[in-house]
Amino acid sequence: MFEYTFQWRQAFRALPQMLEGALVTMQISLLSMVLGITIAVLLAVGRNSKSIWLRAPATTWVEVARNTPALFQIYMAHFGLGSFGIYLSPFVALLAGITFNNAGYLCETFRGALRAIPDTQMRAGRSLGMGPAKAFRLIIAPQMFRIAFLPTTNQMVWAILMTSLGVTVGMNTDLTGVTQALNSRTFRTFELFALAGVIYYCIAKAVMLGARLLAWRLFRY
Amino acid sequence: MKFIKFAGALVAAALVAPAASADKLDDIIASGTLRCAVVLDFPPMGSRDANNEPIGFDVDYCNDLAKALDVTAEIVETPFPDRIPALVSGRADVGIASTSDTLERARTVGFTIPYFAFTFNVVTNADAGLQAYEDLADRTVGSVAGTYEAIRLEEDIKKWDKGGSFRSYQSQADVFLALSQGQIDATTVTSTVASAIVQGGKYEGLSMTGEAPYDVDYVGLIALRQEYGLLNYLDLFVNQQVRTGRYQELYEQYIGGDAPRLTVDKVYY
């Protein structure tokens, strides 16, 4: 039996603090996506490269990022590097961990998208007198982003939710961290975390909506 | 015939009625098991021995309580932040988990009279060159989320406002790991943990840097706020533990010396 009287007033009074935490959460997830996409494009190109010196590190990154838990990656960024004397603050450790994870997953998304673009596109570009870099930038990349767009928004939502793992490395300013701190003071666990859940849901929905609008603006045929 | 029907109805009522009015204390006695939420990351109050079995002051208190109730004890390992969820979701009956009896928390959960009292020490990384509690003002410090000392330390860092920052970790082990690595310069912990850890030598480069000027932290057993029957029983249990000398005996076993007084001057509990 669940024996508990819900006291929502106390939770709602904490709402401003939690919304501040939500801002930090959005900040981390947006930054991690921007950095993650940039690295992922480089990794995808690296994995498709003929040179082993580009392929090997890219493949290693992807293998580790995709086949270990995000919690482990974040923990390693904080305590793992810490044992070598490299101190990342909780914010940076969390950002690094999620970026590492994002880059790994997005790399595979982009690589799949690259495969889906017929070789003739590149050849057509070259035959119009473009160099390889210019052809990639103007012909291939836009098509790649269009194909990869929906899986990328998926990863974006995933990045938002992963920020909640920051509490394990001492993060206390993001939404989960703030909620946890409020919880320990008041013991109003269920109200506070229910509210946090709703806020996470709203952030994720808002980001998806924003992504739709962006896609409509950018990728219309 | 009428009498038999009446008697039958009485018997039926007697069989059904107690179940309807049974409180938590009845439930524990009937089930034959007492489930205690204990933090096993907090030596010497609760930890695990070489065979991974729970040991510590709180564990023994749970066993004593079970013996008093004539039931078997079951330890439910509970990290600090999960003590209340464990009670409310019915995973545990009683929290024997060094819970500070703040008025803010008492709005949510029921506390007994104090069963233990803590004082606090500052533990620093030896390289940080800190001498006193006030030196922490411009440093990065940390403690276990949700503990009395974490709340005090964070308040003081905010009050000093000299560029120090506070981090809350999820377990005591993470705090000492961060401290020995130098991620944080200092932490405040209960004097019991401080001596256990610094003397234990499991973490390198830690040093005791005096007392933290916090009020004595009285901790109570916790149960659901509305379970008066159980809370009354627990109050009596705590009283009896002290009266029979068991409190002092366990204190000597796990900490050593004279057990702290559990009374406050000039007021009844």
pLDDT digits (tens, 9 = 90+) for B88-124: 888 999 999 999 998 988 988 999 999 999 989 999 9
User: How high is the pLDDT of residue B97?
Assistant: 93
pLDDT of residue B139: 92
Residue A110 in any domain: the answer is yes
Q: Which residues of A touch B178 (CB under 8 A)?
A: 79, 82, 170
Backbone angles phi, psi at B4, to 5 degrees: -65, -40
Are residues A168 and B174, on separate chains, in Cβ contact within 8 Å? yes
d(CA B221, CA B227): 13
The pLDDT of residue A214 is above 90: no
Note whether A82 contacts B181, CB cutoff 8 Å.
yes
Which of the four pLDDT bands, split at 50, 70 and 90, describes residue B204? confident
pLDDT at A68: 95
Residues of chain A contacting residue B102, judged by C-beta atoms under 8 Å apart: 185
pLDDT of residue A62: 95
Residue B73's DSSP bridge partners are B34
Give domain status of residue A37, yes or no: yes
Structural domain containing residue A68: 13-218
Q: Is the Cα torsion angle A159, A160, A164, A169 positive or negative in sign?
A: positive
DSSP letters, B62-120, are HHHHHHHHTSEEEEEE--GGGHHHHHHTTS-SEEEEEEE--HHHHTTSEEEEEEEEE-E
Q: Note whether residue A1 is domain-resident.
A: no
Residue A195 pLDDT: 95
A167 vs B142: CB contact, 8 Å cut-off? Answer: no
How high is the pLDDT of residue B231? 96
Q: Indicate which CATH number applies to the domain containing A104.
A: 1.10.3720.10
Look at chain A and report how many structural domains it folds into.
Answer: 1
The pLDDT of residue A200 is 96
A4 in any annotated domain: no
* B contact test, residue of A184, A190, A192 with most B CBs within 10 A: A184
Average pLDDT for chain A: 91
Residue A7 belongs to a domain: no
Q: Say if CB B157 and CB B136 are below 8 A apart.
A: yes
Determine the average pLDDT of the residues in B164-188. Answer: 90
Chain A residues with beta carbon closer than 8 angstroms to that of B104: 185-187
Is A145 exposed, middle or buried (CB count within 10 Å of its CB: 0-12, 13-18, 19+)?
middle
| A8 found inside a domain | no
- Does residue A3 sit within a domain? no
ipTM: 0.74
In a domain, A148, yes or no: yes
**For B37-81, how does the pLDDT look when each residue is reduced to its tens digit (9 = 90+)?**
999 988 889 989 889 999 999 999 999 999 999 999 999 999 888
**pLDDT band for position B9 (50/70/90)?**
low
Chain A and chain B share a number of CB contacts under 8 A equal to 89
